[in-house]
Each structure stands twice: as C-alpha cells, then as structure tokens.
Amino acid sequence: MSAPLLQVEHLSKSYGGVQAVRDVSFTLRAGEILALIGPNGAGKSTCFNMLNGQVRRDSGRVLIGGRDTAGLSPRRVWALGVGRTFQITATFASMSVRENVQVGCLSHQGALGRLAGYAGARAREEAEALLALVGMEDAAERPCGELAYGDLKRLELAVALSNAPGLLLMDEPTAGMAPADRVDLMRLVAAIARERRIGILFTEHDMDVVFEHADRVMVLDRGRLIAEGAPEAVRRDPLVQRTYLGEGLLYEKGAA
Amino acid sequence: MKLAVSDLRAWYGPAQILFDVALDVGPGEVVALLGRNGAGKSTTFKAIVGLVERRGRVAFEGRDLGAAETHAIARAGLGYVPEERRIFTELTVAENLEVGRQAPRPGAPTWEPETLYRLFPNLSEMRNRPGGRMSGGEQQMLTIARTLMGNPSLVLLDEPSEGLAPKIVEEMATAILAMKREGLSLLISEQNLHFAKLISDRAVILERGRVRFAGTMAELEADETVRDSFLAM
Amino acid sequence: MDFLVVQFLTGLAGASSLFLVASGLSIIFGVTRIVNFAHGAFYMLGAYAAYSLTERWEGALGFWGGIVAAAIGVAAVGALVEVTLLRRIYRAPELFQLLATFGVTLVVQDLSIILWGPEDLVGRRAPGFRSSISILGQQVPSYDLFLIALGPLVLGLIWLLFHRTRFGVLVRAATQDRDMVAALGVNQRWLFTGVFALGVFLAALGGALQLPRDAVSHTMDLRIIVEVFVVVVIGGLGSVAGAYVAALIVAELNAFGILVLPQVSLVLVFAVMAIVLVVRPYGLFGRPEGPPRTGTAGLIRPWRPFSGGERIAVAVGLVAAAALPLVGGSYLLSVGAEIAIFCLFAASLQLLMSAGGIASFGHAAYFGLGSYGAALAAKTLGWPLPAALAAGAALGTAGAALFGWFCVRLSGVYFAMLTLAFAQIAWSIAFQWTSVTGGDNGILGIWPPPWAGSPAAFYWIALALAAGGIAALRVIAFSPFGYALRAVRDSALKAEAVGISRRAVQWTAFVVAGGFAALAGALFAYLKGSVFPDNLAIPLSVDGLVMVLLGGVETVTGAVVGAVLFRALTIVLMSYTDYSKLVLGLLVVVLVVAFPKGVVGSLQGLRPPWRRAAAPPVAVPAR
C-alpha cells in the first residue's frame, strides 16, 4: 500500500508555556473528507498552520505524500500540491476575479518570474475553467473587492484548486455564510473532492456541515485529540458531548 | 429608557454595514442582540461607542451621544466590552483594572478592585500576572472587570460566551446575573440562543445590518420562523 | 589598554545623548505609531535654544537652567506641532505621517538658518564639569562622566514613570490598543499630546546636553536622525530598554570604529544593524507590528493596460514633447530634459510604491549611484556616453541589489527606515571618500560628446530614454511578475499560500526600480555636467515620494504627471526664493493636511476615467 496522502505523527506546539497542540496524530487518504472540530482555542488553527508550514512545529512529523515537510515554508508546501483556504477570506483585492485565479495558475506554471508579456492574457482558459467549476464564470471580470462574502469563499476555492492539489486544507470554509449557501458550497467541495480524488481536511463550527459531509470527524480539545471516527460515533461520544457539543444546556440536542 | 438607539447607520470605508438600526434598553434590563456572524452585531456596538464611522441617534440617559467621541461616551457611563477581549497583555491584572478606573457616578453601581475580585474569584489570585499569560476565560473575566472599573450604568457586552468552554460560559452567566442584580443594564450580543435565554429579558435580531425582530424572549421562543430564518442555530 | 578604557568611556558618554533622543522617538512611535522624522529637528532646536539661553543667562544656574528651559521650550513647540498638525493625520496612512514630519524637518532647517545663521556655534562649557579626571593615567572629561551617569538615570526615571504612575500605565495600555483605551474613557488626545511632548523633551534635552561637547550646526538634525533610526531599529521600535542597549552598541561601535577603520566607521554600525535585522527582524527587544492602516475595504478597480484611444493620446503627447526643440530655447530644453529625467525617477519609485506597496525613503541612493557611476566611468575611465550611462545604471542596480537584500527582510516602517539609512550611508561615502568622489566638491566637467552636446540633441536623448524606461516599467507592472508583486501587496499570506515568495518578488522589484532610478541619475549627471553628494541626499528621496503621491499612488504610472507638476513648480520656486526648503516643507505639510486620505483619493472625482484605474491606498507593506 502506498503512503497515505497526509500523515501526521505526534505533532506538538506550545506558545510561551501554553501547549496549543499536544501529540496529535492522524492520517488522511486521497478522496477522503476529514473534519477537525472543537471549541475555539482548542488548537485547530495552530494545527492547520503547522500543516501548511505557516507555523513551525515544536516536535512531531508531517508527511505529505510520504515526504516530510519539516522546515518547509507555505510556498514550498503549496508546491507539493497543497491548496489552502483561510478562515477570513484572503484574496488579491486589487485584481479582477479571473486575475486572482490567473495568479494561482501562473504560479503553478512557474511563470510568475517573467517581466514581460501581459499577464491578463495568460493562463486564461485554465482560470476560466476553474471559475466555471465553482460556478463563477459570469463574475470573471468583476473587481474582487465588490464580491459578496459567499462568492469570495468560492473564489478562494478556485484559487486553492489552481495548482491541481492532492490535498486541500480549508479553515472554516463556510464561516459567515447563510445556511443555504453553506450547504451549496460544501456539496460543491465534496463533489470536486470525490471527482478529483482530493483529500480534504477542514475545520468547521457548523455541525450540519460537519455531519453531512465528513467521512470522518476528529475532535480537538485543549490541544489534544479526544475523539476520532465516523460522524455518528463521534456525535454519540459522551466525552465529546461533555466538552464540545454540550449537554443540551447550550446546544440543540440531537440536531447538534 | 436607559439607552435608545434609532436610525443608526455605520460604514467601514465606503461599505455601509448598518441600516437604520433601532433598539432600546430599559433601566436594569438585559437585552440580547442576536444574529449570525456578519449580521452587524459587533458593528452596532462599535457604532454606539463611536469606533466606526456612523450617523444616527444614540440617546443615553436622555443625552444624545450620536456624534460624541469614544472617550466621552465611556465617561458618560456607557461601558463597552469588545468581542476580541483586547486586554492589555503587557499590563498586569491590577494595571488593566487601573486603566479602566473612573470616578464613581450617581445612579450606577460603584466597583472597586476588591469587589471585582469577589465577583471574579479567579482574578484575585493573579493580580500581578501579565494579561497575556491568562487563559481565554480569565481574559474574558478581566475585560468585563476592567469595564466595570469605570462604574458604568450600562454595559455593551460583545459575544461574552464566544470560544469559552460550556462550564466557563455558565460561570459567565452567573456573573452577568450578579451584575444585573446590582442594577446594571446590559446589551449583550450573542450567537448562542441558549445562553441568551439564560440571561436576557428581551431580544433584538439583526440580519445584514437591519433589525428583523424585537420582542421578549418568550415571543422569540414562540416564533419558529424568525428563529429558523435569522438565527439557524 | 588604558587608552581603550578611555575610548570605551567616550563611547558611553556618546551613548547617553543617543539614548535620550532614541528613547523619545521610541516612546512617540509606541503610542502614536508615528515615526517622527522631525525628531532630529527637535534635537537640533534643543541645542540651538540651549545655546541662546546659556549665552544670555549667567552662572551655573543660568547654564543648567538654560539647558532644562531649552528642552521644555522645545517640548512646548513639539506639543504645538502635535496639536496643529499631527492630530489631523493620525488616521492617515503611515507614509503621510512620515512625510508630514519630514516637511516639519525641512521647515526647521531653514528657520534655524534664519534665526541662528549658517555658521557653527560653540557654546559654553558646563559649570562644575570643566576639568578632566585622570583614569588609568588618561584624562577623561568630567562632563563625559556626568553624561555616562545620566543615561541609566533617565532610563530609570522613564521606567518609574511608566510603571508607577497612572499616566505611564495609560501610555503602556495605549501603546498596545489605542481604541480600547478610549473605550475605557481616556481622552487619547491629551495622552498623545503628552507623550509627544515627552518624547520631544527627551530629544531636545539630548541636543542641549551636547552643547559643551560639540558645536551646534544646522546639519546636526539629519546626522542624529540617521543614527537614531539605526538605534531604534537595532533596539526594536517602541522599546525604551532596547533603545538604551542599542545606543550603547552604536556609540561603542562609533568610538572603536574610528580607531580601527576611520573611513568606514559608519559602515561598521550598519553592518551590525544588518546582522541584527537578519537574525531578529523587529530588533533586539521589538515585537512584530500590527497590520498597517491601509483600509482596503473600499471597492478597488483592477488595473487595465491602455486602450487603443489611450495609446493614441500618449503617442500624441510624446510627439508634442519631442517637438519642444522647435519652439523652445536652450534654457527651456534643459528644463525639459530635467523634467523627463525626474519622470523616470518618479516612475521607478512608483513601481515599488504602487505595485509593490513598499515605500522606499531612500530611493535617491540609486539615482545618485547612477550619477556617480556615469561620472566616474566618463572622467576616470574615459568611457563614451552610452557606456557611461550603462555603467551608471549598473552601479545603481548593484547598490539596489545589495541594500534591497536587507530591506525586503523587513516591512512597514522598519523597511522605510532601513531604506533611508542605506541612502544616508551612500551619501556619507560619497561625502567622505574624497579621493574618488571629490567629496563636497563633487565631480565636474561631465559633458556629452559633440553629437549629443546640443541642447536639442541631449533633450531628445533624455526624452527617449525616459519614455522608454517608463514604458518598460509599465510593461513590468502588467507582466506576470507585476501580478506577483501586487499579489504580495494585497495579501502576503495568500501570496505565500499560492507559492509566491514575498522576499524574492519584492527584492526583484527593488532592484528593477533601483536600476531605472540609476539610469535617470546617470542622465542627470550629463545634464548638469557635474555630480555632488546632493544627488543621493534625503531631500531628493522625498521629492520622489511627493511626486508619486501627487500623481496618485494607486495609479500605474501617474507619477509622471506628478513629476511634471512638482518639478516645474520647484524650478519656479527656486528662482524666486532663497528658502526653498522652507517653502517645500510647508508645501509638503499643507499637502498632507489638505488630503489626509491621500491626494488622489481626494481628487479622483475630478480626473478623467482613464486615470481612475485604481489599486488600494498603500503606504507601507504588510508583513
């Protein structure tokens, strides 16, 4: 059997004496959708930032396609075929929607060092194909700054797909969206993942999204993985109910 | 009315975030401001205290503060606890409280560090600890205590339960109810309807910068359509 | 050995003044987030005011009273500047604030010449500290020992003020989060004024205390500001303790550097700074800055290349410019060539500021290196005009590659300060290395060969090279590389996440911009027939910034329009007044106050649609 797409072993990180992530291990296979949930401050973002090289880990290993990513910067991790979207959308605000995707495509082609030739005319078809994939082909010419929040999230997805990634890291992909849009976006993500055999790791607070789309769910609390498994099993786990889903006082029973 | 807001509009740069928001808070009342991420709850608070560009009427104890500056609004007795906590991480707990200190004010409960340490027992054990070396829950307690040092008669509390473990949230609810007993009025923004139910008398729901519902908690409880379309808890 | 001890003590004494000024700068920056360029001007004013007061008041009381009164008086002037000028622009981009305080510096320079004359002034010795004390058989001035004791004393007093008084606690709180302090009922306005006055007091005291050691001159402001920038960059902006440690390091490097390598003592200090920054990008005691105030919430229109109609308009403009020799005499042609050269200079800076979002405060360094490169190639090596121009451009490019390598490791105000510091280094090399550069006398007699010698011929050469250079810069702005540069500016985080290296991209832009600036400088050497250290001095760097801001920092090549306007204006001004710095400084201040949201942001509605293509209001880059 070949190496799993993503293999995390004993990952730890502390900030000024506070352990943000302790001894986290898990694997993710191609085409699998894995959710990482837990209370705010549980270490989800730190975990994410270590996976894509933004934060240096204290100890442990992260293997992407069998390759250890120790010491790699985010752009090197991207070159390994990892796409990333951010909790608070990050886009290139001075560019049009298509130009945002073009930057990703040109970077993937290694063409961003060229000092001549109008970039707006390059990698146009690739960019338009990706926009069509996320249903934004009609917005290609619009300035990125005038997009609604849900559209920005879809644009981010298109940019994240521009290097044909095998692994997609999505930090709260539906935060701040209306319920109907959330479901649409996640269905889109799930369809793309299955079709292209992309492994997806995402964090999320919306339990509807988590339980509908994840193949597996991991629960992080105070930096430690406290549960991992199929959505139904995690939902019923008494420890998870106590620390995150709650005992009914603060969260809807059953519906959670 | 303690606080009567009407026609409140606010902007971030050229983007308008609030559209004619109206709400009020009676003396000694706790009002919950509900709505999703991005509905405009935090912006409403920032607009009331003048931290974003805004127009409209903000009548506080009969005085219009709609054009007043932030520090003047705080000096009038309107306290604000921001969502991101924003404690001064370099300062000790005691120094954080010192920044918030203002003279006692008639018609509002008066707080001293010692009374606050009794209300938030965790804090009294760490008076000389820098704010940056406290847990999220302790920071949340400190930011509330710091605002109370200004002896406000009304406090705007932005998402006090956000990111806290349920156990701490329950302690928070206890503290809020204690503040209410002292005679304080509170306007609390919240995403967690269950927490809101524990502490509030009335609710106002915002969506996309507009008020979509205002009524008692019981009315909100009865109105399933409102809950489903604007809260989606 | 004994001599080394004395040299060490001399260094310590120098550290005290440096610390006073640097701590003031650091305190002001911590709370107001303004890098107060005028800090050197206040230091100089402190020295001048102390000179006047101690000359008038007699005795020991008169002397020490005069020193303290001078510092208090200058602090009051500082408070006035804060209330009338800075208060209006706290919400403006950082670049505008630096520019405004630079305007104040220019005004003070000319005012000090008007008030105290151009000559250096030698003040009284300090009563009670006129003697020397013998230490290890060497004579050490007792005043030096007084200064050595003063540094830690002031450090201790500042610590007490910040940790044991309510004012200090509020200042520390405001350093971290100004809005939150306001929301707790503190009137920030007076807090800011108080902090600014305190910082200026320290600067002026530092200047006044130099009186017994050194002559007072009207160049001491720029001399100290560069050293102070180095100190706060090494120590970390906003850290008073860091300022003390860094002041010690810098002063000792100065003291011993003169012994070891007298010619390059300044370079030694900068080498140490470079090492510190590479290891700790926010200085020894500094912390990462918060995100800069850029506010990109507004709707931003993507840049577009010229349409067919616009190309025709540009071509018509060029043809009209090329026809100038048909109507103008030699003076007008020389003015025209100068304007063309500055258009290229401004356009090169604009690539950095607009597409790159990074504001170099020392862009003149590369212009000047171009001038010197061309002049040396022509004079010493006897190269012909084209080869000399190429040599100039090559020298500037090499300089930009070297300095830029360090600069792009930083961001925000650190970047701006480091570019300025490097420009000042280049300036002092040109000034001090007389055997090669001729020092203050410059290099004279650089004339074009006969085929290019007529005013019309040289004008055409300048116009062609400038137009070609600007066109190339425009092509680069729209190239894949230009997109990468803008991507880094828009969101460094996102750019890194799609495989773009911020440093590599910004460094390349820095080198390209430096190269074109150097070409402009090389042309300038031939236009004037001479090269002086002024060609790389700070005022020229600021001219570049003003031209870009005037033309529109959010445009692709609007700086060309800004350069035409600004250069024409200054040429007119120079012929009417002896106090060009005063006028220029006031102009900068008025410009900044009148358009706090950015010049072009305020004028946008008045401009034709083809000029409205926009990028975000950018001052200094995000990390």
A neighbour chains, 3+ CB pairs within 8 Å: B, C
C-alpha span between A228 and C567 (Å, rounded) = 69
Tens-place pLDDT, residues A134-144: 989 999 998 88
Closest residue in chain C to residue A86, using alpha carbons only? C494
Inform me whether the pLDDT recorded for A88 exceeds 80: no
**pLDDT at residue C429 in the model:** 87
Residue C318 lies in a domain: no
**pLDDT at residue C570 in the model:** 83
Closest residue in chain A to residue B195, using alpha carbons only? A250
**pLDDT at residue C1 in the model:** 64
User: What's the N-to-C CA distance of chain C in angstroms?
Assistant: 46
Q: Is the ipTM of this complex over 0.85?
A: yes
Q: What are phi and psi of C619, to 5 degrees?
A: -115, -75
Please check whether residues C345 and C482 belong to one and the same domain: yes
Q: Which one of C179, C182, C297 has the shortest CB-CB distance to B15? A: C297
Residue C290 lies in a domain: no
User: What's the N-to-C CA distance of chain A in angstroms?
Assistant: 37
* Mean pLDDT, residues A157-162 taken together: 94
Residue ranges for chain C with pLDDT beneath 70: 1, 262-266, 289-301, 595-623
C-alpha span between A44 and A58 (Å, rounded) = 16
For C386, the domain range is 331-611
User: Among residues A74, A91, A189, which one has the least CA distance to residue C499?
Assistant: A74
Q: What are phi and psi of B9, to 5 degrees?
A: -125, 150
User: Among residues A66, A18, A21, which one has the least CA distance to residue A47?
Assistant: A21
Residue with tokens 């707990």: B93
* A90 touches C at CB < 8 Å: yes
Say which CATH architecture domain B3-88+152-231 belongs to. Answer: 3-Layer(aba) Sandwich (3.40)
Contacting residues of C for A103, CB less than 8 Å apart: 483-484, 487, 495, 498, 500
- With an 8 Å Cβ cutoff, are C299 and B14 in contact? yes
175-204 of A, contacting B, C-beta below 8 A: 175-176, 178-179
User: Among residues A40, A88, B46, which one has the least CA distance to residue C180?
Assistant: B46
Q: Choose the final residue of a domain: C195, C218, C241.
A: C218
Residues of C with CB under 8 A from a CB of B: 166, 169-170, 172-173, 175-177, 179-188, 295-299
Q: Which one of A41, A175, A179 has the shortest CB-CB distance to B136? A: A41
Inform me whether the pLDDT recorded for B145 exceeds 70: yes
Q: Choose the final residue of a domain: C218, C247, C273.
A: C218
Instruction: Please tell me the total count of domains within chain C.
Output: 2
**pLDDT at residue C433 in the model:** 85
Domain limits of chain B?
Answer: 3-88+152-231
Residue C324 lies in a domain: no
Residue C167 lies in a domain: yes
C-alpha span between C339 and C319 (Å, rounded) = 16
Q: What are phi and psi of A115, to 5 degrees?
A: -95, -5
Closest residue in chain A to residue B192, using alpha carbons only? A250
Higher pLDDT, B158 or B16: B158
**pLDDT at residue B231 in the model:** 65
* A1 touches B at CB < 8 Å: no
Residue C604 lies in a domain: yes
Tens-place pLDDT, residues B192-212: 788 888 899 999 999 888 999
Q: What are phi and psi of B21, to 5 degrees?
A: -75, 135
Please tell me the pTM assigned to this model: 0.80
**pLDDT at residue C603 in the model:** 56
Contact C199, C101 (CB under 8 A): no
Using a pLDDT cut of 90, give the percent of chain C over it.
54
B neighbour chains, 3+ CB pairs within 8 Å: A, C
Q: Which one of B36, B163, B192 has the shortest CB-CB distance to A40? A: B163
Contacting residues of C for B14, CB less than 8 Å apart: 297-299
Contacting residues of A for B133, CB less than 8 Å apart: 16-17
**pLDDT at residue C176 in the model:** 84
Domains of chain A: 6-81+165-245 (3.40.50.300)
* Angle, vertex CA B154, rays to CA B153 and CA B158, nearest 5: 150
**pLDDT at residue B150 in the model:** 95
Closest residue in chain B to residue C295, using alpha carbons only? B13
Residue C366 lies in a domain: yes
Tens-place pLDDT, residues A172-229: 888 766 666 778 888 899 999 989 999 999 988 777 788 888 999 999 888 899 999 9
User: Among residues A74, A161, A150, which one has the least CA distance to residue C502?
Assistant: A74
Contacting residues of C for A113, CB less than 8 Å apart: 480-481, 484, 508
Residue C292 lies in a domain: no
Helix (H) or strand (E) holding B148: helix B136-148
What's the length of chain A? 256
Residues of B with CB under 8 A from a CB of A: 36-38, 132-133, 136, 161-166, 169-170, 192, 194-195, 232-233
**pLDDT at residue C94 in the model:** 73
How far does B137 lie from chain A, in Å, by closest CA? 10
Residue C257 lies in a domain: no
Please check whether residues C463 and C600 belong to one and the same domain: yes
**pLDDT at residue B115 in the model:** 92
**Which among B36, B170, B174 is the top mutation candidate for probing chain A, defined by the most A β-carbons within 10 Å of its own β-carbon?**
B36
**Which among B194, B230, B231 is the top mutation candidate for probing chain A, defined by the most A β-carbons within 10 Å of its own β-carbon?**
B194
Residue with tokens 């790699």: A72
* Mean pLDDT, residues B28-36 taken together: 91
Q: Choose the final residue of a domain: C187, C218, C249.
A: C218
